Amino acid sequence: MLLLVATFFMAFVLLLYMLSPLISPKPLALPGAHVVVTGGSSGIGKCIAIECYKQGAFITLVARNEDRLLQAKKEIEKHSINDKQVVLCISVDVSQDYSQVENVIKQAQEKLGPVDMLVNCAGMSISGKFEDVEVSTFERLMSINYLGSVYPSRAVITTMKERRVGRIVFLSSQAGQVGLFGFTAYSSSKFAIRGLAEALQMEVKPYNVYVTVAYPPDTDTPGFAEENKTKPLETRLISETTSICTPEQVAKQIVKDAIQGNFNSSIGSDGYMLSSLTCGMAPVTSITEGLQQVVTMGLFRMLSLLYLRSFDTIIRRCMVERTKYEITDKTA
Amino acid sequence: MLLLVATFFMAFVLLLYMLSPLISPKPLALPGAHVVVTGGSSGIGKCIAIECYKQGAFITLVARNEDRLLQAKKEIEKHSINDKQVVLCISVDVSQDYSQVENVIKQAQEKLGPVDMLVNCAGMSISGKFEDVEVSTFERLMSINYLGSVYPSRAVITTMKERRVGRIVFLSSQAGQVGLFGFTAYSSSKFAIRGLAEALQMEVKPYNVYVTVAYPPDTDTPGFAEENKTKQGNFNSSIGSDGYMLSSLTCGMAPVTSITEGLQQVVTMGLFRMLSLLYLRSFDTIIRRCMVERTKYEITDKTA
């Protein structure tokens, strides 16, 4: 009896695997597509631009610094695969003023046609304890990381909905899946991006526009170097539980997921676990993805409680050390 | 054999239930405690203030509008349980300028002593499609809902850490657990609050300061009435009172304060995810149907 049930179940799962492609979005064809990358002059953004360019896309790079834009352009153009490809550079601060951003997108569309894929990489990271970071940091990070993703997305969304095709990629972070010590300002901005993406995907899905949220781990970029400048010891120790990635690895995975229209893009096995654990009410683009989540979530939650306990231990130990040090300092 | 394993498992679970209180924080005593409620002049904030007052707390109400503050104060004072209780009102915009907020907290602490509990209720809600809401809405909601919670929290945190006691409450929303149609601006601000709270809790836990994030569903308040003004009407954000299901499903890497809470989450998450996929499917159907209706209407409009 049990064996019969098990066989039926296996057959059902197999059937789902075979049917799975039928509900997935049609992959976006990159050759000839117009891809806009904000924050495309360095770090993950630049690598994503390179990855798309290698597959035949036409790139628009958007960033603030003109020199870095031109340098990035030269670097990207080395990877061209035909004579027609173009890399366009436009300098603007995507978080300042919506009308400026709208203008930039209009310029880009006049030159390279309607935007097929928008990749929101513009962002920065600052870490430090809640009461230690400068007060302006909260607003600043939210402005660059969140508003700097809202404005370009808003500028392209109407055209994408009209054309019934599009991809919008948001760069969140593993810190946007779990709020970590020292990341009160940064985690908030990355959680916000996830909320925005989830709501936006629900709105644009019937128009064949797909949203991807990427959750990279610590990645070896200039942005990461900046973050490390003020990083508290506790944060550093906790971050050692996941390994650092190269931006090329991250970019490859993100582009792959974006083309496919996957809502969730994660890197590595820790990324897989975090994404399954924190999927919550996020949409899935394949039946198997949903099935995997249902099966693994309980187990991953158990693991996560162990991880949280080890983080608490690290933090408590650091606090004790620091208090001892302060006492010795006072009595010295 | 199976029966033996089952018995051991049951005994283990029972043991956890008994040990559970040992890892939980000591409850905060409200009588005589100083509770600050931002956005306390209306809606959920006012009700929280009343609830704390009924249990003996001293209240500081913080909001922008002075008249509404005084009205709320009168209403709260009806519930006093002894002669010593006080309701203090201070008018400020908690999202504008940190130094103003710091000042307000300092004033409140001079009159009623150090803050034991801060409840961040200041917030507003606007709904509408991503490309339809005014562009300024994104910044505005983030400012009031997020920064308006950051600044008061920052003003009280150092004292709470020194005293080794405190509670900070953040008001997120069910829209802060799931991104819903029409809530691109609002959901983002409420997700941000969850990220802030999770990170903050990790930092202040060894200091016996505890953070609570609330995820209310649609609540009958003036704020909700405001939100409904621009609501598309084609999407109902009520997932009912299934706050329990949503919280278990979206707990992710959030901390637990009791072993049983963790156990419940481990056991229910997979099932709830399955249910959530069905819910999402039904939402998509609603949205698609509305889109088809609207397109048909536009075509008839054009040919008319």
Digit-coded pLDDT (tens) for B209-219 = 999 998 888 77
**What's the CA gap between B109 and B104, in Å, rounded?**
9
**What's the CA gap between A173 and A250, in Å, rounded?**
11
What residues form DSSP beta bridges with A211? A168
Give ipTM to 2 decimals.
0.91
A63-72 — which CB contacts under 8 Å span 24+ positions?
Answer: A63/A38, A63/A39, A63/A91, A63/A122, A64/A91, A64/A92, A64/A93, A65/A41, A65/A91, A66/A91, A68/A41, A68/A42, A69/A40, A69/A41, A71/A41, A72/A40, A72/A41, A72/A42, A72/A46
Could you confirm whether B186 is annotated as catalytic?
A: yes
Mean pLDDT of B45-67: 93
Nearest-CA distance from B235 to chain A in Å? 11
- For tokens 């693994």, what's the residue? A296
Span A27-300 CATH architecture: 3-Layer(aba) Sandwich (3.40)
B238 contacts in A (CB within 8 Å)?
none
* Chain B interface includes A196 (CB < 8 A): yes
Could you state, in order of their start, the residue ranges of all structural domains in chain A?
A: 27-300
Q: Do B178 and A188 touch (CB under 8 A)?
A: no
Tens of pLDDT along B72-110? 999 999 998 888 889 999 999 999 999 999 999 999 999
**What's the CA gap between A51 and A253, in Å, rounded?**
10
Q: How far is CA A51 from CA A81, A192, A248, in A?
A: 12, 27, 8
User: Of A7-21, B203-217, B223-237, where does mean pLDDT reach its minimum?
Assistant: B223-237
- The nearest alpha carbon in chain A to B264 belongs to A298
Selecting among B190, B215, B237, B248, the annotated active-site residue is B190
DSSP state, residue B133:
S
Is the pLDDT at A34 greater than 60, yes or no? yes
Substitution target in B96, B140, B202 with the highest count of A β-carbons within 10 Å is B202
* Chain A interface includes B140 (CB < 8 A): no
- For B28-233, CATH number out of 2.40.128.130, 1.10.630.10, 3.40.50.2020, 3.40.50.720 equals 3.40.50.720
pLDDT value of residue A49: 95
**φ/ψ of residue B239, rounded to 5:** -95, 25
Q: In Å, how far from its chain's centre is CA B41?
A: 16
Angle between helices A148-163 and A98-112 (to 10 degrees): 40
* Chain B interface includes A281 (CB < 8 A): yes
Nearest-CA distance from A44 to chain B in Å? 23
CB-closest option in A143, A297, A308 to B270: A297
Is the pLDDT at A320 greater than 50, yes or no? yes
* Chain A interface includes B145 (CB < 8 A): no
**φ/ψ of residue B89, rounded to 5:** -120, 130
Selecting among B186, B187, B189, B237, the annotated active-site residue is B186
pLDDT value of residue A75: 94
Confidence of residue B230 (pLDDT cuts 50, 70, 90): low
Interface of A with B in 29-48 (CB under 8 A): none
A156 contacts in B (CB within 8 Å)?
none
Query: Which residues of A are known catalytic residues?
Result: 172, 186, 190
**What's the CA gap between A29 and A258, in Å, rounded?**
11
B129 contacts in A (CB within 8 Å)?
203
Q: Do A281 and B190 touch (CB under 8 A)?
A: no
CB-closest option in A130, A191, A283 to B192: A191
* Chain B interface includes A153 (CB < 8 A): yes
Residues in chain B: 304
* Chain A interface includes B294 (CB < 8 A): no
Task: Yes or no: say if A221 and A42 are a contact pair by the CB < 8 Å rule.
Answer: yes
Between these two residues, A36 and B234, which has the higher pLDDT value? Answer: A36
Mean pLDDT of B11-18: 66
pLDDT value of residue B235: 39
- The nearest alpha carbon in chain A to B158 belongs to A131
A158 contacts in B (CB within 8 Å)?
131
Task: Yes or no: say if A209 and A197 are a contact pair by the CB < 8 Å rule.
Answer: no
Task: Yes or no: say if A141 and A51 are a contact pair by the CB < 8 Å rule.
Answer: no
Tens of pLDDT along A167-182? 999 999 999 999 999 9
pLDDT value of residue B229: 62
pLDDT value of residue A329: 67
Tens of pLDDT along A200-253? 999 999 999 999 999 999 888 988 888 888 889 888 888 887 788 999 999 999
Is the pLDDT at A297 greater than 70, yes or no? yes
Between these two residues, A190 and B81, which has the higher pLDDT value? Answer: A190
Confidence of residue A289 (pLDDT cuts 50, 70, 90): confident
CB atoms under 10 Å from CB of A280, counted, come to: 24
pLDDT value of residue B303: 64
Substitution target in B95, B181, B269, B294 with the highest count of A β-carbons within 10 Å is B269
Mean pLDDT of chain A: 90
Is the pLDDT at A332 greater than 60, yes or no? no
* Chain A interface includes B269 (CB < 8 A): yes
Nearest-CA distance from A73 to chain B in Å? 31
**What's the CA gap between B172 and B217, in Å, rounded?**
10
- The nearest alpha carbon in chain B to A98 belongs to B135
* Chain B interface includes A311 (CB < 8 A): yes
CB-closest option in A131, A182, A199 to B183: A199
Interface of B with A in 46-85 (CB under 8 A): none
What residues form DSSP beta bridges with A273? none
Substitution target in A118, A159, A188, A198 with the highest count of B β-carbons within 10 Å is A188
Interface of B with A in 118-137 (CB under 8 A): 129-131, 135
